[in-house]
Structure 1
Amino acid sequence: MSSQAISIGHSATHGKDVELPSIREVLQELPGTVAALEVRTETIDLSKQQEMFYNLRNIVEQAQAEAENAFDLKELHSTLEEAEASSKRGYRNAQTLQSVCEILHRLWACESQYLVQAAEIIANGSRDPSWRVPFGQSGVLKFFLDVISSKDKVESNLLLHSLRVIGNSCADTNENREIVVEANYTLAIIRYFLDPDLVFVAIPVIYNICMDYEPAHAQIAVNRTAYILLKLIKDGAIEDNEALLNFAYDLIELASEQADGIENSPDGTILLLMQLAIVEGLEFGHFSSLATALAAYLEKEKFQNVCVSHKMVEGVLDVLRRSFSVEVDQSSAEDVKAAAQLRLKTNQALAEVSASPLFAENYPLDSPLSHTLKSWVVASEDQLQICACVMLGNLARSDEVCRVMVRELKIHEELISVLNGDSRGAVLHSSLGFLKNLAIASDNRAALGEAGIIPAVSRLWAYESVPQVQFSAASIARQVTISSVDNISHLLAPLSQDPDSPAHQRTYLSLLLSLFEKTDSTPIKTEIGRTVASICRTLSPMGRGGDSKALDLLDRLFTLHDGVAMPIGAMITQTKWPVVRSEGWFALALMGTDPKGCSAVVECLHKTEVTELLKAALSAEASDQVQVEETGEQKEIHKSQVAKDRENAFVLVQGLLKNESGALPEGYRGFLEDLAKSHARFLKASAEA
């Protein structure tokens, strides 16, 4: 990668008021590591220093005759990663290194010129995996950790070799990594990211400490490593070194996985992630790290609020859009899968951001972002469509906003066109969810019906591969028919206008009832029952008032739909939602008061367990059937519900006795009369009490 200039999209202008502190400012806010080294005041003559150095060198050479004599910075990655099984080569004796450690401390104390040479010898030897554990056990590692943490001025070459020892000693060696993390030496190493002569070794050393070692991940997150590396990349400090970039992007992603550690990261972290993610020519691996980190940061409420209040949501949209143009190796199943996962993560982040109460305040319907999202509703990429539906759906949280979306933006027409197309299940589900929000505003229901919402969702009632789509499609049928005679008319309209076609005698409700018969899903069955109940609640009072249209629709409801009361029965027999059960009793009572609906009720009673529940609802003990564990307010609510169920059950019995016209099976009328008498006695006893 030759350049890191921002040249795509427009998010570089977003978040311009977000502070991007310098790396030095960020580091100044973090505590330092106290180095436990001798005060450098000891005086040792030069010949003695030389003798000490030769002794150290002899010890090392005797232990490893083939020690390397040179260090190629370009090979740092391979030397740090090299990890042969130590059991094959044998550990060096830690006791042998005790004298080495003592010599190092004395050379430090007298500021010996031989200390750099000694450090280089040990650094070269540290390439051998068998040195790692002994370095930690003997104190050699601790010495060099203290050197890089020292407040004294330390020669650059000594720092270089000290970092080499640390990096190589920690390769695949958790025992040594623990030494580093325990005293927060990672922060001391991170400070050298600012040194252009040492950043090239300091970054790989941190990488080596972190690989497969969770405590280090957490520590670098707390030490704001992600922000520091992002700032280095953005400022072009390491752009010419591909290996360092690889380390940096991996560390950024590792740090972002630490939920607790990223809380104190500067607000500008997410801005840098967005800006870098949309750089032209960015390779997929680097993009993946940035997008993954961005999604992780946006899981935090702090960064959600920062993103919204500083108008950076457009930047996240740019990242999602960029995910479709970044070059992915299509021959790599792993990369293709990773790209899909990134889009899902980014979409989830956008969903969380748009759910924030601040979102609607900062991004009204007339904002450029809303217009972008509207255009994505019919985009060719699934994840853009899903993003648009979820985010605009989160905006649709008030009746007024929903009215504007339908009346002025006509967004419901685009959503319905999606339902009528060949979109995949996830897109259909998100579109249906958005439409359900729009349908909550009663003013919108007529417009949705006129736009063909019923025929559009009816084809999805057979969408067996994704039950969530079936459920949402059934739920919309209920939502749009609430108090809407026109939409009930659409639901009861013939499937064919040809009088000679068999489909002329079938309606869209017939298709919904077919789904009821086929599905094993209690939520879907219940939702279909609630749709039928909604129809009854709207039409029955109007029919009793003599409304001709309502009477015609009731006639179609009961004459064209065998088993129309069965979904109501399912509402009553389900045990998960007491409120739904009560709703079912009310709807069944409404049906029973209609002469034509009476036959449907009788069929329901005959084929389900509703009869037994009816008997239980009207029994003298019904009002006392309160769960033992319920107390106080819960008991009162339960008793109130039982009383309502009893009342509706009694209305049902009365309606059946009045309207059954011979529809009741032999002996069943007497059973109902007994129930009515029993209830009358209950009412009398209650009044006397």
Structure 2
Amino acid sequence: MSPEEIEAMFRAGRGPVHSGSDDDEEITLSQEEQALRTHQLKNCLMTAQLLWSSGSSDLDQVVEKLADGSRDDKALQDMQNDLSLETDENRARVLAANSLPSIIRLLNDDSVLAFVIPVLYNICVDYGVYYLDSENNKGGFLTYFFTEPAQLAASQAGLSSALVGLISGPRLRHCQAFLNIICKVLGFVAVQDPEVNVADPATPIYLLNLATNSSMLIDLEDFCALTSVALVYLANEKFQQALISHKAVPTLQAAFSRSYTQFDVDQADPDEAAQLRQVRNAFVQVIADVSALPEFPLEYPLTSTAVHTFRSWLSSGYGYAGLETAACLALGNLSRSDESSTFLVQVQAIQDPLIALLSKPYPTGGLAVPPGQPPPGQGDTLPPSQLLHAILSFLKNLAIPQANKPILGAHLLAAPQHILPRLWSATATQPQTQFAAVSLTRLLLVACPANVGRFCAPLSQDPASPARDRSNLHVLSSLFGRTDAEPTKMEAARAVAAVCRVLHSSPSSPLIPGDWGRPQDASILQDVDSAGSDDTTAITTPENAHRARFYAAHAADLVRLLGFLLTQTKFPSVRSEAWFVLALMSRSDDGAKVAIRVLEPLEACRALVETVTGKDMLDGRDLQPAGGGPAEEASGSLSLMQGGSGGSSGGADSVMAGLGGLELEPQQVDPAQAANMAKVDRENGLVLVAQLVKEHSEYLPPPRYSIFVEMVKKGGEIVLHDRA
């Protein structure tokens, strides 16, 4: 029908059709008249649908005639672009009269879908803003902001269920041309509060099924429309749980995979390309959230097809960073127990593709090299930051079980790749990723002699190379000095403490090369020995010469990092680790010399006094030194407990004799037992001080010796009292 024929049809239908005196009486039509008018309207709608499908500019004129004939308000301008079939006044009338449910019921009639779907869209579209806030929405989800109640009313009226019922069955063929509009309408209602309760829990599954239906010719616009709305629903845990219970995670995986294999961002329209990137980011977040639910491993164990799909994304070789990132996050969520982590490493060898991702070349921009392409040259970079962080986070979970540590350390710490040491420096502009790399290093070193040996080995075996005198401990200490990020500094210092603990808990001869250090590095205590004695002989012939030489070459780094753990106050459990390690070290000649250096600064000594005696050494009421000393200790601000025994060895012997019945041993603190932490710290500190006073008093300056003796006395009294 032409626009003129439509106008003539409405003009002919405006005459009286009944007789009556009441102007408000409802108009009644004969069955023949109703059938005629219905037939004519169907012809109009068919015309509108054909024009809509073809993109004809004649649609404006047809819609204008329909608008003029159906109401007094003239249709808005630029109708084809805005689908403005209703004015704000008429929208308000629809809501005020509660007519929206009636309009929604018209979706059951295939013959009027071409009119009802745009009308429903128009009722909602100008009552809210629908856009993607890429700057503030880092998760990549589509964001909706509303100023009017139309979308809320549509949700309450069950619009989403009606639309999903329309597109999830055979009736889809009657409205496929309007699929994009349907998705936009669903987008309006998806974020409304009632939607969680009124929507079909399988709504996102239906949408993902359409997006992955190979029999449908889904273009990029429709794919983004379908998946973006599905992902909005899947931001809610109720729909995530329904996805799992309906065994539809493979559908989610298929849709995400299709976003890479079927559509090329570089070939797409810029606007569509931007939307596709955001859709991919949203997939990553949803997969991370879904796999973190407790229901997920129950439905999808490590041997399931869905988990196999995640593993295949890691080793596909096609460089789809989004798929690889999602796989790391999902598998990382599944590796939160020792049992699952051990299975993934020792049975499924999941570390192999992870190491490959960290080792292969990436050109500038962080894109992987496709299979068959030559490796990039200059300008190689790290993996994309999101992928790199996900890999490291996954590896941290895998590194917790003791049996996994040497397997992972052989790849991540050993020469020639030195993957983790390389990442410490290469991630300087990515603080969170740098922290993850250092934290993973610490986990690999904890109670693992094999990894400590790799960590302590010289960077080069060439005697002429400057790297022959450096180890990964030097590299990590250098990072500690450069970074301002306190969490990273903390993890670096804890890693060094873990090394020292292993060196004093296991025979260190197999771990430390026997020729560490140059002759001039043999003494680490010349600055401490106030008498200026040369302890070269003592340091090179202790019970463990290999460890002593290692300490000689790393003394300054050890002192700095261990001292940091003692003087920080934010994490008491970390300070407890340091007291335990120093107590272990104090029981050997080489370790005790390092401990003395660590305790040399005033703040470190102050922390020790507070730990052992429970009082602040600077408050004027604790210990009183017996004699003069360095300027820091002779100043009026430093006061120690009265009645000190002085610096004589006789006084020390009498104090040490009082500790004979305590049988003190270094104890590891359990952070879960916070109430017991102070007692364990006190005893570890007392072990440390007692060992230094008893075995290494010649290296203690007289003022510091007096402080230590009084700490032994006071601390011993407190321990005896506590035990009594």
TM-score, normalisation: structure 2: 0.67
In structure 1, give the amino acid aligned to 2:340: V
**Once the 2 structures are TM-superposed, how far is the Cα of residue 327 of structure 1 from its aligned partner?**
5.2
Q: Does the aligned pair in 1 maintain the 2:606–2:616 contact within 8 Å?
A: no
The counterpart of 2:407, out of the listed 424, 447, 467, is 447
Matching residue of 2:72: 125
The counterpart of 1:640, out of the listed 669, 673, 676, is 676
Matching residue of 2:356: 417
Alignment partner of 1:391 is 2:330: yes
Q: 1:355 and 1:402 mapped to 2: Cα distance?
A: 15
Q: 1:608 and 1:316 mapped to 2: Cα distance?
A: 59
Q: 1:612 and 1:371 mapped to 2: Cα distance?
A: 55
Please identify, of 228-237 and 285-294, the stretch whose mean Cα deviation from structure 2 is larger: 228-237
Q: 1:177 and 1:554 mapped to 2: Cα distance?
A: 82
Q: Does the aligned pair in 2 maintain the 1:219–1:261 contact within 8 Å?
A: no
Q: Does the aligned pair in 2 maintain the 1:210–1:217 contact within 8 Å?
A: yes
Q: 1:327 to 1:679 in 2, by over 3 A?
A: closer
In structure 2, give the amino acid aligned to 1:127: K
Q: 1:590 and 1:601 mapped to 2: Cα distance?
A: 10
Please give the per-residue CA displacement for 1:173-229, whole angstroms capped at 9, x wherever unaligned. Answer: 5xx645544664322211111112322222222211212343222332343433432
Matching residue of 1:559: 552
Please identify, of 184-193 and 669-678, the stretch whose mean Cα deviation from structure 2 is larger: 669-678
Q: 1:241 and 1:209 mapped to 2: Cα distance?
A: 18
* Structure 2: gaps (5+ residues): 1-15, 28-43, 61-65, 78-82, 129-145, 363-382, 513-543, 620-671
Greater RCO (Cα-Cα under 8 Å, separation 6 or more): 1
Matching residue of 2:424: 461
Q: 1:242 to 1:598 in 2, by over 3 A?
A: same
The counterpart of 2:689, out of the listed 643, 653, 657, is 653
Q: Does the aligned pair in 1 maintain the 2:354–2:391 contact within 8 Å?
A: yes
Q: 2:180 and 2:320 mapped to 1: Cα distance?
A: 30
Please identify, of 392-401 and 549-558, the stretch whose mean Cα deviation from structure 2 is larger: 549-558
Q: 1:622 to 1:641 in 2, by over 3 A?
A: farther
Q: Does the aligned pair in 2 maintain the 1:282–1:326 contact within 8 Å?
A: no
Alignment partner of 1:356 is 2:293: yes
Alignment partner of 1:535 is 2:527: no
Q: Secondary structure at the match of 1:465?
A: coil
Q: 2:284 and 2:685 mapped to 1: Cα distance?
A: 48
Please give the per-residue CA displacement for 1:6-62, whole angstroms capped at 9, x wherever unaligned. Answer: xxxxxxxxxxxxxxxxxxxxxxxxxxxxxxxxxxxxx996276899999xxxxxxxx
Please give the per-residue CA displacement for 1:341-367, whole angstroms capped at 9, x wherever unaligned. Answer: 211111111111111222222222222
Alignment partner of 1:229 is 2:163: yes
Q: Does the aligned pair in 2 maintain the 1:439–1:448 contact within 8 Å?
A: yes
Matching residue of 1:307: 243
Alignment of 1:258-337 (within 5 A): 258-279=192-213, 281-324=217-260, 325-326=262-263, 328=265, 332-337=269-274
Q: 1:197 and 1:326 mapped to 2: Cα distance?
A: 34
**Once the 2 structures are TM-superposed, how far is the Cα of residue 305 of structure 1 from its aligned partner?**
2.2
Alignment of 1:603-682 (within 5 A): 603-607=597-601, 609-621=603-615, 639-658=675-694, 660=696, 663-664=699-700, 667-682=703-718
Q: 1:329 to 1:481 in 2, by over 3 A?
A: closer
Q: Does the aligned pair in 2 maintain the 1:565–1:588 contact within 8 Å?
A: no
Q: Secondary structure at the match of 1:451?
A: helix
Q: Does the aligned pair in 2 maintain the 1:126–1:168 contact within 8 Å?
A: no
Matching residue of 1:60: none
Please give the per-residue CA displacement for 1:318-345, whole angstroms capped at 9, x wherever unaligned. Answer: 1111112235575754433322221111
Matching residue of 1:520: 484
**Once the 2 structures are TM-superposed, how far is the Cα of residue 522 of structure 1 from its aligned partner?**
1.5
Q: Does the aligned pair in 2 maintain the 1:568–1:587 contact within 8 Å?
A: no
Q: 1:184 to 1:685 in 2, by over 3 A?
A: same
Q: Secondary structure at the match of 2:490?
A: helix
**Once the 2 structures are TM-superposed, how far is the Cα of residue 528 of structure 1 from its aligned partner?**
1.7
In structure 1, give the amino acid aligned to 2:709: E
Please identify, of 330-339 and 342-351, the stretch whose mean Cα deviation from structure 2 is larger: 330-339
Q: 1:604 to 1:259 in 2, by over 3 A?
A: farther
Alignment partner of 1:404 is 2:343: yes
Q: 2:218 and 2:17 mapped to 1: Cα distance?
A: 55
Q: 1:660 to 1:525 in 2, by over 3 A?
A: farther
Q: Does the aligned pair in 2 maintain the 1:221–1:262 contact within 8 Å?
A: no
**Once the 2 structures are TM-superposed, how far is the Cα of residue 665 of structure 1 from its aligned partner?**
5.0
**Once the 2 structures are TM-superposed, how far is the Cα of residue 620 of structure 1 from its aligned partner?**
4.8
Q: Secondary structure at the match of 1:541?
A: coil
Q: 1:121 to 1:307 in 2, by over 3 A?
A: closer
Q: 1:337 to 1:606 in 2, by over 3 A?
A: farther
Number of paired residues? 544
Q: 2:715 and 2:286 mapped to 1: Cα distance?
A: 57
In structure 1, give the amino acid aligned to 2:484: D
Q: 1:219 and 1:456 mapped to 2: Cα distance?
A: 56
Matching residue of 1:108: none
Structure 1 or 2: larger helix share?
A: 1
The counterpart of 1:370, out of the listed 292, 300, 307, is 307
**Once the 2 structures are TM-superposed, how far is the Cα of residue 251 of structure 1 from its aligned partner?**
0.8
Matching residue of 1:245: 179
The counterpart of 2:102, out of the listed 188, 203, 225, is 188
Q: Does the aligned pair in 2 maintain the 1:594–1:659 contact within 8 Å?
A: no
Q: 1:475 and 1:352 mapped to 2: Cα distance?
A: 23
The counterpart of 2:188, out of the listed 246, 254, 262, is 254
Q: 2:608 and 2:454 mapped to 1: Cα distance?
A: 33
Please give the per-residue CA displacement for 1:621-661, whole angstroms capped at 9, x wherever unaligned. Answer: 479x9xxxxxxxxxx96553222222222222223334546
Matching residue of 1:150: none
Q: 1:535 and 1:520 mapped to 2: Cα distance?
A: 23
* Structure 1: gaps (5+ residues): 1-42, 55-69, 83-118, 131-165, 626-635
The counterpart of 1:435, out of the listed 388, 395, 403, is 395
Q: 1:479 to 1:51 in 2, by over 3 A?
A: closer
Q: 1:334 and 1:556 mapped to 2: Cα distance?
A: 63
Q: Does the aligned pair in 1 maintain the 2:68–2:75 contact within 8 Å?
A: no
TM-score, normalisation: structure 1: 0.70
Q: Percent identity?
A: 31
Q: Secondary structure at the match of 1:125?
A: coil
Q: 2:17 and 2:72 mapped to 1: Cα distance?
A: 26
Q: 1:553 to 1:249 in 2, by over 3 A?
A: farther
Q: 1:591 and 1:434 mapped to 2: Cα distance?
A: 33
Please give the per-residue CA displacement for 1:444-501, whole angstroms capped at 9, x wherever unaligned. Answer: 1122223344522111111112112211111111212222111111111111121221
In structure 2, give the amino acid aligned to 1:229: L
Q: Does the aligned pair in 2 maintain the 1:489–1:553 contact within 8 Å?
A: no
Q: Does the aligned pair in 1 maintain the 2:683–2:719 contact within 8 Å?
A: no
Please identify, of 292-301 and 425-434, the stretch whose mean Cα deviation from structure 2 is larger: 292-301
Q: 1:556 and 1:178 mapped to 2: Cα distance?
A: 85
Q: Secondary structure at the match of 2:218?
A: coil
Q: Does the aligned pair in 2 maintain the 1:539–1:554 contact within 8 Å?
A: yes
Q: Does the aligned pair in 2 maintain the 1:271–1:312 contact within 8 Å?
A: yes
Q: 1:302 and 1:204 mapped to 2: Cα distance?
A: 30
Q: 1:271 and 1:557 mapped to 2: Cα distance?
A: 60
Q: Does the aligned pair in 2 maintain the 1:622–1:642 contact within 8 Å?
A: no
Q: 1:619 to 1:181 in 2, by over 3 A?
A: farther
Q: 1:573 and 1:78 mapped to 2: Cα distance?
A: 76
Q: 1:617 to 1:199 in 2, by over 3 A?
A: same
Q: 1:651 and 1:413 mapped to 2: Cα distance?
A: 44
**Once the 2 structures are TM-superposed, how far is the Cα of residue 664 of structure 1 from its aligned partner?**
4.1
Q: Secondary structure at the match of 2:336?
A: coil
Please give the per-residue CA displacement for 1:370-412, whole angstroms capped at 9, x wherever unaligned. Answer: 2221121134111111111111122223323222222222111
Matching residue of 1:483: 447
Please give the per-residue CA displacement for 1:130-168, whole angstroms capped at 9, x wherever unaligned. Answer: 9xxxxxxxxxxxxxxxxxxxxxxxxxxxxxxxxxxx985
Q: Does the aligned pair in 2 maintain the 1:618–1:675 contact within 8 Å?
A: yes
